[in-house]
Amino acid sequence: MLKAICLSNAFSRCAHTVLLAALLSFSHAAYAEQAPQKEEPPSKEAFAALLKETLLKSGAKDEIQLNAADFSMKLGERQFFLQNAFDEFVASAPAQRGDVVIRYLHSYLKMAQDYPKTFEEAKAHIFPAVRSRAFISQSLALIDGKAFAPVKFAHQVFAEHFAIFLEYDGKSNNEFLADDLLKSWKVDFDSTLKIALENLKAKSTEEFKKLSEGAYQSPWADKPGIARLLLDSVISAQKVKGAPVILVPNKDVLLLTGADDEQGLAEIAKAALIAIEKSRQVCGFALKWSNGKWDLFMPPQTSAAYNDFHHLQQLYLSQIYEKQRDQLQTAYKKAGRDAVAASFEAEQNEKTKAFDSLCYWVKNAELDLPQTDRIVFEDAAIPGEGKTLGSAPWSKVVEVMGEALAPIDTYPKRFHVKTFPTAEQLKKLTLEK
């Protein structure tokens, strides 16, 4: 039978801030002592009862109702759906399940404390936000200085590297909305986004700043910032040569020019490199407006702007791959795996001045390789500099090695490899020293 999580403090008065404080006093060791490490996953009914009992032990005085029909819990007047919490609880190791319970209860109480009870009350204060797709997998919920698993924010991925979120602009908080909060309001992402875009449109009447003829920078330094890229009326109002092309180097700067404007492309790339020195980079990939949606864009290699656009990409990928590598290595260590998440490295070609990325495929090692411009092959058994056998372009490696590179469901992309190329395959790769 599941036991409620042991909390070090009990409170007699019912206030959400007090309940949050009680939950933050949670001791992982205390939960581990009560929950057997080989405990089988509970039924939905038992899990809901565990949440209810934990809230009661923390001092909750509001009425708590459990509804088996839609697998929800009502705390006072607020309803919370439990499926996401249950799925994660079941998927977690027994020793980690206490973290899941505390994090979700913390999230529910934050919703009750910080957000209006109804969507009607909230909708005028909801705006879209645009961030890197990496934000979904790499943002951690910090509770009293302790990092928990990623929060399930409501979002929509577009153009591979970007994501749209919904942000509540309240008096005391600006936070991305969680899936569970939308569900408690009985609204979906698409309908909420439509309202958020209308709210944003009303705040987007200023004109773009002109960097040069045909190159522009957004004037807004508010919370929605670069989310104006979602407003077709704002983007199409600017006079550019060819299809609109944008860069969003940080959350405050939206740069715009035309795909056929060589000077404009060079101008916004330079401006983007300056912008990321002042504030953390959002994404290094450019977008082009095509057939009613944003697609990835890259100038041709013959363009004078190509190196700067490619450099922006490499800086971004280096940053997010490094964070991902740290997370994967921590996960591998906990799981007792010998696999290594290979590093993403970037270097500048002395001749072309272009920035190329590379990773190392080492013999007799189980690796998760990042997707890079080139792969360097090494045999650690060979002494000295001879261990580096040479490198080959990513496309050539895929052509020769085929299914040996097994894709992993991660962002950014990684590929799992267990076996090193044979002598015949190395020959086909025509490695460059």
Neighbours of 29 (CB within 10 A): 9
**Which three-class secondary structure string do you get for 225-287?**
HHHHHHCHHHHHCCCCCCCEEEEEEECCEEEEEECCCHHHHHHHHHHHHHHHHHCCCCCCCEE
Structural domain contains residue 386: yes
134 pLDDT higher than 80:
yes
353 pLDDT higher than 80:
no
Structural domain contains residue 11: no
Structural domain contains residue 181: yes
Number of domains in the chain: 4
Task: Give dist(CA 128, CA 190) in Å, integer.
Answer: 11
Together in a domain, 195 and 215: no
Q: What is the pLDDT of residue 39?
A: 61
Residue type at position 89:
F
Average pLDDT of the residues in 247-274: 96
Structural domain contains residue 6: no
Structural domain contains residue 305: no
Q: What is the pLDDT of residue 345?
A: 95
Range of weakest confidence among 14-18, 154-158, 331-335 = 14-18
Give the tens place of pLDDT for each residue, 159-178: 999 999 999 987 555 678 98
**Could you say which of 114, 140, 173 is where a domain stops?**
114
**Could you say which of 262, 281, 297 is where a domain stops?**
297
Structural domain contains residue 333: yes
Average pLDDT of the residues in 246-273: 97
Confidence bin at 216 (pLDDT 50/70/90):
very high
Together in a domain, 188 and 213: no
420 pLDDT higher than 90:
yes
Together in a domain, 197 and 226: no
Together in a domain, 219 and 196: no
Together in a domain, 25 and 48: yes
Range of weakest confidence among 4-13, 323-332, 385-394 = 4-13
Contacts of 125 (CB under 8 A, 6+ apart): 168, 169, 170, 199
Range with top average pLDDT, 52-66, 69-83, 91-105, 257-271: 257-271
Output b/e per residue, 165-188; b: 16+ Cβ within 10 A: bbbbbeeeeebbbbbbbbbbbebe
**Could you say which of 202, 236, 262 is where a domain stops?**
202
Structural domain contains residue 384: yes
Range with top average pLDDT, 71-85, 118-132, 174-188: 118-132
Together in a domain, 265 and 250: yes
Structural domain contains residue 137: yes
Sign of CA dihedral 26, 30, 34, 37: positive
Average pLDDT of the residues in 370-379: 96
Give the tens place of pLDDT for each residue, 287-338: 999 999 999 999 999 999 999 999 999 999 999 999 899 888 888 887 788 8
pTM confidence score: 0.77
Together in a domain, 228 and 148: no
Give the tens place of pLDDT for each residue, 36-76: 444 677 889 998 988 888 888 777 777 889 999 889 888 87
> Could you list the residue range(s) of the whole structural domain that residue 241 is in?
209-297
Together in a domain, 264 and 339: no
The average confidence (pLDDT) of the chain is 84
Together in a domain, 179 and 213: no
